[in-house]
Amino acid sequence: MTRKIGAIVAALFIIPWVMLAQSPTNTLVVHADAAKDTISKFIYGQFAEHLGHCIYGGVWVGENSTIPNTRGIRNDVVDALKKIKVASIRWPGGCFADEYHWKDGIGPRADRPKMVNSNWGGVTEDNSFGTHEFMDLCEQLGCEPVICGNIGSGTVKEMSEWVQYLTSDGDNPMTALRKKNGREKPWSVKFWCVGNETWGCGGIMDADHYSNELARYSFFLKNYGGNALYKVASGGLEEDYGWTETIMKKWKGVDGWLKGYLNGYSLHFYTVPEWNKKGSATNFVENDWFRTLKKTLKMEELVTRHSAVMDKYDSAKTIGLMVDEWGNWFDVEPGTNPGFLFQQNTLRDAMVAAVNLNIFHKHADRVKMTSVAQMVNVLQAMILTRDKQMLLTPTYHVFKMYTVHQDAVNLPVDLQCESYSNGTESIPAVSASASKDKEGRIHISLANLHPENVQNVRCELKGVAGAKVSGEIITAAAMNAYNDFGKPESVTVKPFSGAQLKNGILTIALPAKSIVTIEVK
C-alpha cells in the first residue's frame, strides 16, 4: 500500500518536475524587426601600453631578433590579431602616456633618449618602439590608431605638434621632420584621447580643472588636410557621474566652446572584486567565479548611468561613450614582476569578455569604441608570449567568435532568465545579444554564467525568415581551464549543435559555463 502511494506521489510530482527541468526555462525574443543601431567595429578595440611585456617582447622584438618579424614587429602576433579583426589600438598608455614625450621616440633608434617607466616597474624605456613603429603596427593590421596624448607632464605645444607630425602634409616644421625620418605621406589618425585618467595618474585634477584643460588642448589639436580627429575626453572614476556632468555641461556650454572640439567621452572600468585582494587568475573556486561575474555585470549600470547623464546634454547621442579600458585585473602570476601585470587567462576571462561585449552591443547607440586591457601579456590579454612561443587565450577566442558582430546592426533582445545564486546573492544566469550582418545573417551570442546547470533557452525570432542554423561554442570541463605554453589549446572555439529551429522558434541547450554564437540564415 505504502509503495503504491509512493508511486502515485512520484507520478504526480516528481515526473512532471523532471520534465519541467528539461523544458526551456529561459526565454529570449530577438527583435530583428526593430534593428536600429550599428555595433561599431571599434567596440572591438585593443589597448597596448608600454607596460611589462605588452610592447617589448609581445609586439616589438626588433629587426635583428631571431623571432620572425616584419620591421621589428612579431609576425605570429600580427597574424593572430588579424584573425580577430582588431579594429583599433589605443597607445602608448594608460598612465605611461602622461610621462611619454613623443619626440623621444622618433628618428634613428640608437639616438633616442632613454627614460624610466616609473608607473610600471621602474624599468628603462629605450623608446625603440615609437610613433613610426606604432603606426607600422596599425598599418600591418589595417586598424585605426587611438593615440593617447600627454596632458599630465606635457604641453599643448607638444601635443599639437604630434598631431601635425602625424597628419599634416603642409609646409611646416613637423611635416618636414616626419619626412626626414622616412615617412613621406601623412598618416590618417582618427581617435585622439585628450589625456588619460586625469583624476589620477594623468595629473590628479578635479573635473572643473580638467574641463578647462580639455578645452585648451582640444582647441589646438587641428585637423590637417582631410584628416578629422575624433577627440576623446578623459572620464572620472568609474562611478563619478558628476565628472561626466561637468564635461557634458562644458561641451554644451553657454558659449558652446567645446562643441566641435569634442567627440567622445571615456569610461574606464576594471573587473576587480576587491583592489587589495584581487585573487589569482587561475587558482580560484566558485565563490570567486561568482564574485567576478557579479562585478563585471556592473558595466551595464555604469554605461546606462553615464549615458543618461550624457543624454541630458546630448539627446542626439553625437558624443560617443568610449570604454577605452576594461577587463579583469587579478594578481600577477607568482614569480613575475608585480609592475608588469602579467596574468593567465581562463574560461572565467572568456565569460567576462562575452558579458561585456553583449552589454556594449546593447548600448550600441552610445558606446562607439572600447579597448580591452590589454592586447598582449598584460591583464586580460588576447595573446601571451614567452620568447619565441605564443598562445591564444580564452578571451582571444571570444573576440574571434564575436567578429561576426562587427559593424552589424544590433537587434534588441528581451531576455527572461533564471538566476544563478551563490549564498544569498544572485545574478542572471544568461547574458545575450544579437545582430544582423550585411548579408542578412542573424547572429545570437549567449553566455551561460552558471558553472553547473544547463540553461535551456526558447528563442523567438521576430522578423526572421531564416531556416538554417549553425553554431560555435567555447567551454571547458573546469571553470579555471586555460591555455598554456607548449600544450594543445584546451579552451578554444568548437562547433555547436545544441540549437534547433522549428516554426520560427529556436531552442538552445546552453551547456554550463559556456559561450555560444548561433547563426541563422
Which of 196, 263, 282, 483 binds ligand AHR (CB under 6 A)? It is: 196
- Minimum CB separation from ligand AHR for residue 170, in Å? 33
Of the candidates 146, 143, 134, the one whose C-alpha atom is nearest the C-alpha of residue 190 is: 146
213 counts as binding ligand AHR under rule CB under 6 A:
no
Residue with cell 567551454: 475
Give exposure, 101-132, as e/b (b: 16+ Cβ within 10 Å): ebbebbbebeebeebebebbeebebebbbbbb
98 counts as binding ligand AHR under rule CB under 6 A:
no
Fill in the DSSP letter of residue 196. S
- Minimum CB separation from ligand AHR for residue 264, in Å? 16
- Minimum CB separation from ligand AHR for residue 240, in Å? 14
Which residue has the closest beta carbon to ligand AHR?
94
Q: What x-and-dash track marks residues 317-336 binding ligand AHR by CB under 6 A?
A: --------x-----------
Which of 28, 95, 106, 391 binds ligand AHR (CB under 6 A)? It is: 95
CA-to-CA separations, 235 to 194, 218, 238, 269, in angstroms, rounded: 10, 15, 8, 11
Which lies closer to ligand AHR via its Cβ, residue 59 or residue 432?
Answer: 59
197 counts as binding ligand AHR under rule CB under 6 A:
yes
- Minimum CB separation from ligand AHR for residue 479, in Å? 25
Of the candidates 382, 471, 410, the one whose C-alpha atom is nearest the C-alpha of residue 31 is: 410
Question: Where do the DSSP E strands lie in 167-286?
Answer: 191-194, 230-233, 264-271
Among residues 144, 213, 325, 472, the one annotated as catalytic is 325
Burial class (CB in 10 A: 0-12, 13-18, 19+), 425: exposed
Pairing of β 45-47 and β 367-373: parallel
125 counts as binding ligand AHR under rule CB under 6 A:
no
- Minimum CB separation from ligand AHR for residue 94, in Å? 3
- Minimum CB separation from ligand AHR for residue 509, in Å? 38
| Residue 274 designated active-site | no
Which of 45, 52, 72, 93 binds ligand AHR (CB under 6 A)? It is: 93
Q: Which of residues 374-433 bind ligand AHR (CB under 6 A)?
A: 374, 379
Fill in the DSSP letter of residue 11. I
CA-to-CA separations, 255 to 230, 258, 287, 357, in angstroms, rounded: 21, 9, 52, 37
Q: What x-and-dash track marks residues 334-373 binding ligand AHR by CB under 6 A?
A: ---------------------------------------x
Q: Which stretch binds ligand AHR (CB under 6 A): 87-95, 427-435, 445-453, 503-511?
A: 87-95
Q: Which of residues 14-53 bind ligand AHR (CB under 6 A)?
A: 49
163 counts as binding ligand AHR under rule CB under 6 A:
no
Which of 45, 52, 94, 236 binds ligand AHR (CB under 6 A)? It is: 94
Query: By rule CB under 6 A, what count of residues binds ligand AHR?
Result: 10
Of the candidates 364, 447, 440, 452, the one whose C-alpha atom is nearest the C-alpha of residue 401 is: 447
Which helix or strand (DSSP H or E) is residue 247 part of?
helix 241-252
Among residues 144, 197, 213, 472, the one annotated as catalytic is 197
Give CA–CA dist 371/146, Å, rounded. Answer: 9
- Minimum CB separation from ligand AHR for residue 202, in Å? 8
CA-to-CA separations, 1 to 5, 109, 382, in angstroms, rounded: 6, 92, 64
* End-to-end Cα separation, the chain, in angstroms: 57
Q: Which stretch binds ligand AHR (CB under 6 A): 89-97, 99-107, 186-194, 504-512?
A: 89-97
Give CA–CA dist 398/516, Å, rounded. Answer: 9
User: With contact defined as beta carbons under 8 Å apart, do 356 and 332 qualify?
Assistant: no
| Residue 63 designated active-site | no
Q: What x-and-dash track marks residues 48-77 binding ligand AHR by CB under 6 A?
A: -x----------------------------
- Give the residue numbers marked as catalytic: 197, 325
Residues in touch with ligand AHR (CB under 6 A) = 49, 93-95, 196-197, 325, 373-374, 379
